[in-house]
Amino acid sequence: MSENEKENVVKDKNNSFMEKCKKFMKKYSIATYTAIGIPLFLLAFLLTAQFKSMSSSEEILQGKRESQLADDLVTLQRQYDELKEKYDENAAVVQEYQNNASTNDVLIASMKKELETANALAGMTDIQGEGIIVTLTDGVSSDSLVHDSDILTVVNELKAAGAEAISVNDQRIISTSAIRCVGPAIQVNYQKIAAPFEIKAIGNAQYLESALTIKNGISDVLTELGVGVNITRQTDIYIPKYDGTLIFKYGVTTSK
């Protein structure tokens, strides 16, 4: 084969390869992929770099945040300690008030009870309890009438027997009560009363009755004079309080 023929064969082969390359490029659009791939690669590279930068910044911020949180925790702990100290102080004060209030309540209750007892003994309150009722009635003769001295004697005997409260025809007997005869009438606490005379006494019913019915006692004496005497025990006697007014004009209380 001559040289010219050989060159022609080579040219034909080259042209055939180029044609095949063009067909392949056209078929698979490699140029298009290359044109798109390069920008995508650059974009991926930039995103990766940006992500690394953001991660680094986040680590810095996280470190600052942890430091700030630690400082805040110390501050909060100090404030808590201060508030706890104030709370303990206030709690101690409240406890002291409660203790004093409890003591004061006991003291007030005791004083109130003493006051109630004193008022009851002074006749300033109504009182109710067991005791006896003594009824004195006039006899048939003028010599057997009930006198103020008879009532006073019965009252004194009841006091001596431990009566806690006494009334005569519902007039409460107190320390200043006067039982006296005013003409044909008898007065108690300056109030006129008439027969039958009902004397109520609250206390130990047995003791009170025995004080009057003892042999040759007031009951026997009045019965011999013709005065009617009737004594009954009662489990629930009511005696009203003194309804007058007590005023000290010339005396004052003293601790001496």
> 6: pLDDT confidence band, cut at 50, 70 and 90?
very low
Number of H helices, E strands in the chain: 5, 8
Q: Which pLDDT tens digit goes with each residue over 188-199? A: 998 999 899 999
57/149 same-domain check? no
**Beta carbons of 179 and 152 less than 8 angstroms apart:** yes
Examine residue 249 and state whether it is found in any structural domain, yes or no.
no
- Give the chain's length: 256
Examine residue 116 and state whether it is found in any structural domain, yes or no.
no
Q: Work out the percent of the chain whose per-residue pLDDT is above 70.
A: 67
* Residue given tokens 């201060």 in the structure block: 82
140/232 same-domain check? yes
84/18 same-domain check? yes
Q: Which pLDDT tens digit goes with each residue over 156-198? A: 999 999 999 999 999 999 988 989 988 778 999 989 998 999 9
205/132 same-domain check? yes
Examine residue 49 and state whether it is found in any structural domain, yes or no.
yes
Examine residue 208 and state whether it is found in any structural domain, yes or no.
yes
What's the CATH number where 155 sits? 3.30.70.1880
Q: Identify the pLDDT of residue 65.
A: 62
Q: Identify the pLDDT of residue 85.
A: 77
145/87 same-domain check? no
87/134 same-domain check? no
Q: Identify the pLDDT of residue 72.
A: 66
**Domain limits for position 219:** 126-239
DSSP state of 244: S
18/72 same-domain check? yes
Q: Identify the pLDDT of residue 188.
A: 94
Q: Tell me the two tokens of residue 152.
A: 């006073």
> 149: pLDDT confidence band, cut at 50, 70 and 90?
very high
133/88 same-domain check? no
Q: Which pLDDT tens digit goes with each residue over 105-131? A: 777 777 778 777 778 778 889 999 999
154/221 same-domain check? yes
- Please state, as a whole number, how many other Cβ atoms lie within 10 Å of the Cβ of residue 125: 18
Least confident window among 6-20, 62-76, 140-154: 6-20
Examine residue 134 and state whether it is found in any structural domain, yes or no.
yes
Examine residue 256 and state whether it is found in any structural domain, yes or no.
no
Q: Tell me the two tokens of residue 221.
A: 């004496």
144/53 same-domain check? no
Q: How many domains does the chain have?
A: 2
Global pTM reads 0.59
Dihedral Cα 165, 170, 171, 174, nearest 10 deg: 10
Q: Tell me the two tokens of residue 129.
A: 């309890």
Strand locations in 74-182 (E): 127-137, 165-168, 171-172, 179-182
162/213 same-domain check? yes
